[in-house]
Amino acid sequence: MAMMYNECAPLAQFKNHEEVMPVLIKLMLQEPLIKMQTQATSAALNFVNGLLKSEEDEEEEETAIDPQAIMAPHS
């Protein structure tokens, strides 16, 4: 999952954020196993890093994806 969010950013984030982020947030907050909490946190970080990467690449190509709009409902 982490690799998908790195390789397919920002389209993967744009298309899947409504389904993926609530699940990751729930796992980070409520999962009793530390290993699962860590994996969920890692996936969420890769998700956000893909959005940040898209902001840096925006200078090279025009994108209609706004990272702040994607993350606003989840923050």
Q: What is the rounded CA–CA span in Å between residue 2 and residue 46?
A: 6
CB neighbour list of residue 73: distance below 8 Å, 6 or more residues apart: 18
Encoded tokens for 56: 């840096």
- Please tell me the predicted confidence (pLDDT) of residue 39: 92
Which parts of the chain sit beneath pLDDT 70?
A: 54-64
This prediction has a pTM of 0.73
- Please tell me the predicted confidence (pLDDT) of residue 47: 85
Q: What is the dihedral of CA 68, 7, 16, 21, to 10 degrees?
A: -70
- Please tell me the predicted confidence (pLDDT) of residue 63: 54
For 8, other C-beta atoms within 10 Å of its C-beta total: 14
